[in-house]
Amino acid sequence: MSVSAPKPHVVHVLDFHGDVRDFESLFRLNEAAYQEVDAIFADNGLASMVVSPSDVHIREGVGGKYLELFANKMLPFKLSDATEAAWDHFKGVKKHASNGSIYEKTAKPYTIIEVFTKELYSNNSRADIKVKQVVRRYVEPDRDVVIWMSHVSPTEIKHKMLHGLAYHLRGYALTKRSPASTPERELSQLQFCSLISLDQEPGTTYDPVNARALINFLIGNTVQNIRNHQDRIESALVDRALQEHMQ
């Protein structure tokens, strides 16, 4: 079964009036993900990557338990500008321009919880999914790390290929000063890494064809999300630079 690129998502925004305690497991996973950022970026090569030969890399995790997608982009902007543009993107609603959003700041600094629904497409297949997500920013002296932990579950399935669709997504956006910087010009690097693991519901089985189609679909959706993040952050930096130049 071939899988087409995802169509634009139809969004249903939810009013979040739930208990923050419902997100405790995602908070714990987010903290654990931060502790592992150096090991993950060293293992996939992002830690030492300056110029990337392609925009998004894909590989399978240890034992085939998860998929990993990562990307590196050089930005001709100062680190201070790049880190703020990245956080402005992730703390706001524009990152969901194709996915929909609802967000609420928590008492913790640089922390956002989100609940949103969206429709996923694959050829004539469609699934309505619900996403619970915790986004946190970790500020360090020489870099910024934004991490989002998401749990995705189905609300309505329109095709058997997507039956039981449930997965966890761990996403990183790391901004740092590029080693290619010179005393005359500071450059930044914007690096993304997303890890997807299927959360198979009890009693759910996938035949090989449907399993591969489902995985290909998730890959296509994640690649597009990474590209959207890159483009929107870079566009914000360009717009800000133009505004400053015209003042």
Over the stretch 2-11, which tens digit does the pLDDT of each residue have?
333 333 333 3
pLDDT at 105 exceeding the cut of 60: no
Question: What is the overall mean pLDDT for the chain?
Answer: 79
Residue 89 in contact with residue 192, Cβ under 8 Å?
no
Closest alpha carbon to 171 in 66, 75, 101 = 66
28 has pLDDT over 80? yes
Amino acid residing at 74: M
Domain boundary assignment for the chain: 13-246
- In 3D, which of 59, 63, 101 has the Cα closest to residue 195? 59
The percentage of residues in the chain with a pLDDT greater than 70, rounded to a whole number, is 71
Three-class SS state of 169: strand
Domain 13-246 annotated CATH 2.40.37.10: no
Name the 3-class secondary structure at 203. Answer: coil
SS3 120: strand
DSSP assigned state of 187: -
How do residues 172-196 score in pLDDT, each as one tens digit? Answer: 999 999 999 999 999 999 999 999 9
For 8, 18, 123, 218, 235, the CA distances from 225, given in Å and listed in that order, are: 12, 27, 19, 11, 15
User: Which of the four pLDDT bands, split at 50, 70 and 90, describes residue 216?
Assistant: confident
